[in-house]
């Protein structure tokens, strides 16, 4: 029999000393609870992804020292821990077995993801052999993340004698990915008649959220337990003649609840890990800032959120009222600072230069940028992280003002399409009232010109989002999308808007990735590009 503790925890990127200290605490707790082995996630010493910190010799030396020190301290229990390691001048993504005061063996990841947000070929060489260790008479096969998606790598490990697969992961959340994980890992177990512990890390790291939900899967491929979503937990299980067992449940969650929880986690961790405790945002009376506000309140507590209504001549009374109504509902500090004086000052200053030129989008952008200046000033003066409120639909087509409403340190809903924003608001209100219904029901407007509505400039969001999902997330061509029955001129126009607005996205704040193709590390487009997708 072997009792294994799974450290489904958030290991912070770059925080080598804190991660070692956390590891020590978890090892002590697992020892007290009679575990034989503590299993840590992929690159737990450095956090994931450490990116170009891996190219710094000083960083790698600190990691090496930490691993050696931890090995010396490790007696009376065994440890499997993730770290980068250099051998013969080459860097590997490693999993080391610490036992009886020594590093007993080190496994090197064999398959390196280099797609979507992953760049592992930039940092690592591929390992070329399986590693099976023996503890208490049980043979445990070591694998790291991408390895477990490769049937040949898993089979080689079982052929080398593994009776239980230990897969250390740093697998970020994307909508719809969890069932894939369960199905694919189930296939690996079934194909090889071998049970698996799939351990995932937790926590927000820049645009990524690691969702935890570690898996126990039996030799027939059945899921027998899953860890909590996005929450830290030291989870115990045991392997004996009757197989892999645990007393934690299979957890299931409706998709909107899952997405909402991921958004809260990503925002909370970005704020705290970057040394902030409070945030500030512009509250317009519209739905994007309404969702951003309640996410912020849920992530940080209402006392730590500050909202600004920054009206202009185009702001409706309804907007003023709804902003106050929502702030009051949630108990949020709400201030009103008009942009009329600064907007007017800019118009006056620019008047000689603009003589003879009609008003156009310039004047709309100046309003948005006056708000940007005020939000940033409040941030600078009070040390509040400025949060921007843009959604994925508007970022896709450039329906936002760079240095205006795009200004901010973090953009929690930047990967949420507008239609999803509506669904998330309805979901959140189903728990308790947090967003006035009138905010959800009113037609979206930027209120930068008289009687402006988003749908004057854009296709209806239901159409826009359907096209964007195919064009941006699935890389479908204009031809393919039109073939599904969408209006050709609309599809061409949307594709063109996406292509020509890359320059704005390149200067956008990071935000929580919830799809498998967010605007960020996921989607690397040239700004300068002659490509236009046409019929």
Annotated catalytic residues are 42, 109, 145
Are β-strands 138-144 and 208-211 bridged in parallel, bridged antiparallel, or unpaired?
unpaired
Min separation Cβ 149 and a second copy, Å:
17
Cβ-based neighbours of 345, under 8 Å, separated by 6 or more = none
Q: Kind and range of the H or E element at 142?
A: strand 138-144
Nearer to a second copy by Cβ, of 36 and 473: the residue is 473
Q: At what angle do helices 418-431 and 287-300 cross, to 10 degrees?
A: 50
Nearer to a second copy by Cβ, of 330 and 370: the residue is 370
Nearer to a second copy by Cβ, of 340 and 423: the residue is 340
What is the distance between the alpha carbons of residues 380 and 396, in angstroms, rounded to a whole number?
Answer: 29
What is the distance between the alpha carbons of residues 137 and 32, in angstroms, rounded to a whole number?
Answer: 22
Nearer to a second copy by Cβ, of 1 and 345: the residue is 345
What is the distance between the alpha carbons of residues 262 and 341, in angstroms, rounded to a whole number?
Answer: 40
Min separation Cβ 59 and a second copy, Å:
6
Helices (H), 52-111: 57-73
Give me the torsion for CA of 166, 172, 174, 178, rounded to 10°. 20
What is the distance between the alpha carbons of residues 63 and 103, in angstroms, rounded to a whole number?
Answer: 14
> How many residues does this entry show for the chain?
535
Nearer to a second copy by Cβ, of 241 and 528: the residue is 528
What is the distance between the alpha carbons of residues 370 and 251, in angstroms, rounded to a whole number?
Answer: 47
Cβ-based neighbours of 320, under 8 Å, separated by 6 or more = 285, 309, 311, 336
Give me the torsion for CA of 281, 287, 291, 297, rounded to 10°. 50
End-to-end CA separation in angstroms for the chain: 64
What is the distance between the alpha carbons of residues 108 and 143, in angstroms, rounded to a whole number?
Answer: 8
Q: Kind and range of the H or E element at 399?
A: none
Q: Kind and range of the H or E element at 37?
A: strand 37-39
What is the distance between the alpha carbons of residues 407 and 189, in angstroms, rounded to a whole number?
Answer: 48
The one-character DSSP state at 212 is B
> What is the residue-wise DSSP string for 474-485?
S---HHHHHTTT
Min separation Cβ 176 and a second copy, Å:
19
What is the distance between the alpha carbons of residues 216 and 214, in angstroms, rounded to a whole number?
Answer: 7
Nearer to a second copy by Cβ, of 251 and 532: the residue is 532
Nearer to a second copy by Cβ, of 317 and 528: the residue is 528
Strands of 385-386's sheet, edge to edge?
333-336, 305-309, 279-282, 385-386
What is the maximum alpha-carbon separation in the chain? 87
Nearer to a second copy by Cβ, of 238 and 338: the residue is 338
Nearer to a second copy by Cβ, of 18 and 102: the residue is 18
The dihedral sign for the CA sequence 461, 463, 466, 470: negative
């Amino acid at each position: 029999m072997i009792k294994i503790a799974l450290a489904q925890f958030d290991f912070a990127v770059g925080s080598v000393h804190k991660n070692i200290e956390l590891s020590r605490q978890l090892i002590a707790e697992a020892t007290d609870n009679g575990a034989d082995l503590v299993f840590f996630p992929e690159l737990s010493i450095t956090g994931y992804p450490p990116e170009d910190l891996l190219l710094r010799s000083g960083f790698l030396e600190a990691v090496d020292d930490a691993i050696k020190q931890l090995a010396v301290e490790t007696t009376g229990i065994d440890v499997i821990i993730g770290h980068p390691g250099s051998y013969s001048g080459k860097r590997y993504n490693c999993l080391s077995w610490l036992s009886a005061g020594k590093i007993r063996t080190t496994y090197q990841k064999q398959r390196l993801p280099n797609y979507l947000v992953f760049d592992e070929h930039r940092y690592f060489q591929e390992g070329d052999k399986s590693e099976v260790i023996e503890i208490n008479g049980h043979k445990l096969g070591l694998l790291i993340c991408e390895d477990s998606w490769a049937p040949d790598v898993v089979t080689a490990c079982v052929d080398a004698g593994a009776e239980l697969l230990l897969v250390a992961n740093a697998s970020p959340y994307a909508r719809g990915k969890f069932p894939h994980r369960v199905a694919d890992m189930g296939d690996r177990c079934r194909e090889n008649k071998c049970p698996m512990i799939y351990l995932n890390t937790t926590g927000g790291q820049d645009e990524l959220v690691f969702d935890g939900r570690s898996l126990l899967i039996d030799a027939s491929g059945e899921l027998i337990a899953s860890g909590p979503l996005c929450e830290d937990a030291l989870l115990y299980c045991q392997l004996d003649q009757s197989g892999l067992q645990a007393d934690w449940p299979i957890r299931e969650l409706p998709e909107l609840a899952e997405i909402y929880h991921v958004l809260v986690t990503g925002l909370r961790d970005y704020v705290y890990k970057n040394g902030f405790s409070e945030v500030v945002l512009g509250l317009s009376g519209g739905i994007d800032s309404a969702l951003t506000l309640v996410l912020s309140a849920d992530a940080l507590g209402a006392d730590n959120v500050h909202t600004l209504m920054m009206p202009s001549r185009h702001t409706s009374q309804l907007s003023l009222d709804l902003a106050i109504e929502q702030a009051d509902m949630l108990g949020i500090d709400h201030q009103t600072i008009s942009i009329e004086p600064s907007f007017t000052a800019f118009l006056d200053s620019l008047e000689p230069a603009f003589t003879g030129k009609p008003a156009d989008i310039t004047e709309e952008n100046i309003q948005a940028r006056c708000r940007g200046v005020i939000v940033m000033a409040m941030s600078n003066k009070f040390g509040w992280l400025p949060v921007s409120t843009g959604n994925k639909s508007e970022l896709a087509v450039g329906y936002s003002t760079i240095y205006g409403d795009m200004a901010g340190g973090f953009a929690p809903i930047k990967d949420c399409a507008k239609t999803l924003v509506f669904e998330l608001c309805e979901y959140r209100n189903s728990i308790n009232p947090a967003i006035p219904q009138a905010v959800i029901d009113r037609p979206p407007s930027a209120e930068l010109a008289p009687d402006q509505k988003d749908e004057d400039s854009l296709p209806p969001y239901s159409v826009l989002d359907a096209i964007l999902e195919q064009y941006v997330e699935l890389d479908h061509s204009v031809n393919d999308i039109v073939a599904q029955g969408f209006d050709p001129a609309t599809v061409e126009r949307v594709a063109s808007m996406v292509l020509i607005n890359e320059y704005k996205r390149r200067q956008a704040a990071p935000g929580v990735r919830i799809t498998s193709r967010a605007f960020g590390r996921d989607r690397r487009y040239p700004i300068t590009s002659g490509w236009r997708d046409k019929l």
